[in-house]
Structure 1
Amino acid sequence: MNSTIKKTTKLIWPLIVLGICSGMLASCSKRDQAEVSENGETKLIFQIKGIDEGTVAVAKLEMPTGKTNEKELSHPFALGKEKLVTTPTVDALVSMEVIKTQGMSAKKTVVRNAVDTLNKTAIAPKAALTLMPSGIKYRLMVYDQSSTTLIKDVEAVSGTNPNIQVDGGKTYQWVAVSINEATLPTISNNTISAAALANKDVIYASGVITANVGENYLNITFQRKTTRLDVDIDSRGIFGGITNFESLDIGTGTGANFTSLIRSANFNILTGTWSGHTAVTPTANVSHITNKNTATDNFVKTLSVYTVIPAGTTIAANSLTLKPIFQIAMDPYVHIQPSNTNVKTRTYGDNNTYLSFSNASFAPLAGDQYRIAARMIESPLRVAGISWARADLYYDSRSGALDRYKFRPDAGSYHWILNSNSMDTEKNGYWNWMSLTPTGTPGSGDPCALVYPAGLWRMPNLNEMTTLVNREASLYQWPNTRQDRINAIYGYSGVNRMWPLDEPQPASYGKFNDYSDHFMLMFNGYRNLNGGLSSSRMTLNHMVKATSTGSDNREVYVFMYYQTSAENGTAGLALSQRATVSYFDSVTPDLPWQHSSTQLLSLTKREIASLNKLQGFNVRCVRAQ
């Protein structure tokens, strides 16, 4: 009996050993997916501890007099104080700050110098660790001690703990790599290509372990291998939510001397090093876009850009530049003539527009994170050395409006008010003298000063408006229109008076329509003491259409009134002028070059008039700085 059992055992054991070996060979012959769990005496069990965020900037809060304790608050410190920059297409208030840094001991001199210069309240940064979000894929690879033989290649997902069977008593090298997304790049010859890592958040970890018999637990702490630049673009000062980004570039210098800081490179997973740095096309830098917060919705976007900056790079003081190109929604949209089109978006920025920063010198490292902020502001038009807003001020009374005080998106068209934002912007563009709402208390405040960002604009004073009174102006007309004909819009013609600019704007000046590339004021009537509108474009249009047919002409008065911040006793002072116009209700001109048969007959002299403060007039703001 015992002899039979021994013989049977001798036959079975070779089969068991053969089966185990075959199973191990099959397991090692393919890449494992997600969690790996194998039976065996020795296992490597990997757990994700988190992502090392380096050191987070900390600011010291001054305590009131008599207090002895100091409070500390995690807070980014400034590398560039906010300043106003002007460009041919758009202005901006720009600033820069450090969110976190890696290797504070190695960077102490550079960072602390910046802190001492720009933020006297900053103190030593503190370390931070964040958890990896769920659903993020990472590749885990285990090699023999010499790193020449791949033992295991696992595609894992955060939230799982891969278990890898190995031989006890042996030493292994392991690496883990991810782009912090739900996908993984291809690895070829232990290298991930620069093209696959352009604008990617590369995180990496590696180590060596000698496996003891049984379960061996390893905590993986990922290190960030790229520098992160968060760019906040705020469009509240150009009065439309952001609909699209065409491109973004960050670098140093301008024009032919511009050098982009956005780079990619080949990544060696065994050494954790970069090689072969290459430029990244600016259109690839707009793939990580979020709303900064729910309160500002599409008006403030954050673009996160990941770059591989070569080691040893130092950004010189006052050399950083930003080049965003994006579109906003026109709110309300503008009806353009003579093309007869509705323009619903406007583009800001181009390849020749640079926003320059007053930054301190800094040396970015892998794992650093910086915030670059640009609060975009509509650029003014300069007449006689005065910087004027391009269009009139109006009050956005809609429920939930982020900002109440805005400039119309167009200086000369009246069709922008027709049902494009469900608000009576016609009446909301007539203001009592120095009132905080259109029909508010006269003298209660300067409404221009409340245009975002507050304090950048103001009401024109008496001297500034008098400059327009005395300066030569002309009738605004479409190209090829002659004599005193006025351009027609669906049978109605609006009178605009235009002043020459100090510096003529090139055709590439922004993406404004033709009206807003000229400084013009409208003959748009006023709000009378009964609250009704007199001689406004809309009321005249309805009146002319109701009373003139065929070849009948109708001569009417139209008025231009614009408030100043000055007063004369109980009266406010405003620019005033009257025009007499012969309106013709037809879009068919008598002659091809006329564009319409409506004609300007006469003008009174422009003057500064004393008028009732409770009458509503148009407002054109000027720059306060």
Structure 2
Amino acid sequence: MKMNYLKSLKAAGLTCMVLAILSSCSKDVNYGEAGKTQVLVNVGVDNSAPSPLKNSARKSVQATNTIEIPFSKDITLVASLNPVNNTAKTGLRASTKKAASTTNEFPLATGSTYTVLAYQNDELITSKDFTVGGDNRLQLEAGEYTFVTYSSGSNSTIGIPTGTLSLAKFEELAADVDLMYASKTQPILEGVTNDLNVVLKHLFTELTINFNTAALGDATIQSGTFSPSFSTASVLVKDGSVEGIGAEQAVSITFPTGSTTGQQFSSTPVKVIANTSEGVINLQNVSIGGVTKDVTLSGLTIVPNTRYVLDLALKTGSGDASADVGENSWSLGNLTFSRITNTYSFASGSSEGAYFFPDRVIPKNTEPGSTNQGPDESNGSIGDPCALIAPANTWRLPLSSEITALNAATNAGGSSNPGPGSWEPARWVDYYNDDQTGLVGVFYGTQSLPAVEDRDKYLFVPFLGAYHDNFDLSNLGSQGYYLLKDDEKGYANGYATWHLTGQPGQLNWGSEVIEIDNTSAVQVVCVKNN
């Protein structure tokens, strides 16, 4: 009897030990609350993929835009707009193994709050606010969930959207909320600790302007704006798509006060709600080298979920890129166009420009395989391509009467004819390069070949030929054709051609205005608006 009693005690003790071990094991596998298992949330930040803006038909194309802006006669402002994608090399992926949050190179700042929403079958099952550096555990029953995680990157929480997953929205969020978002569907397994690894993405856009004044010295920017930006946005919880709300407006950009000498200064980063290929940055009261003016950069591509840095630098010596001859200031280079950045600039005096059709702002595409024989929709709208050099409307196409005046000014006895020949024009035909390679053209305002160091100070009009309703470039190196607005000949299409001829090493006697048809594509030299 005693033996049986002892056996019973031993059996009971063994049962208790087993139960105790199982209980301990259940804690090790983190069942947590009854019927639930534990989820560890690991969160980081990424800045890579853009998000579509629902009410915009504009393309979300991301590119580097670089333009040169004549600021004064001796100073050029070089502006480069660059997207900065800080892709987080997190190594985080759905796993039942614990992943340390330190694997994220771009962690959410300690003390920041974030919220996790867990949905099943379109319904919100649970939600929880977390603080980085604090408890990151979440209790859930086993099953598959869609997890939505979001944060403002600060210690402020954003309210939980109401409704089903497919319909819920974050409403009327201002850009400075800096909403970061992630969504993923993941099974939660019973009996193990589950890791929910989250990489948040900024849904709005951040813009910073850096101004490097080292090339010159003192410089200031009083203030600036970016447009267009929506004042608020709504964001769909299910996929993070952004919809701008209300009228588009300009957002202020602030800069340090006082001048800087030989260093770089930056604006305060500004958040915007934008998705546009027509972005505009206006800089007010830019002071460089004793000159103060406003500067406008237009046609900028700005998309969501991206940080942009606008780098401004100074270049001396080419400023207005113009030469005063006759009654006008002429560009020291032919007009060019970048199909990558959709920007206009001037080629150097020894380089060719683009070939433009009359009354079209985008030049003929002369690349191999092009079908742009005559003007079509790829050549843009009607307008003056010179006016699109930044800052806008600084330049324009020459008038036919201005070529007549230019010829008169450089003829014998003209205001721009320094001699020495009293009966000869001040128009010299020659190679731009001393080794008689490269372009041939006319140097205006001289009766001889200028010294090498002075050539970039003269209006040089190279003989670059023309396209006449085909892809055969005619008269390259022997004749020049330049687009004009006709104000004296009465040509039907309102345009004319400045036609130049001559032999290297001789004076130019061939400079005239002739008719141009709409299928011809010619070079463009611009004049400054008075």
- TM-score per shorter chain, which class? 0.3 to 0.5
Using the size of structure 1 for normalisation, the TM-score is: 0.34
TM-score by length of 2: 0.39
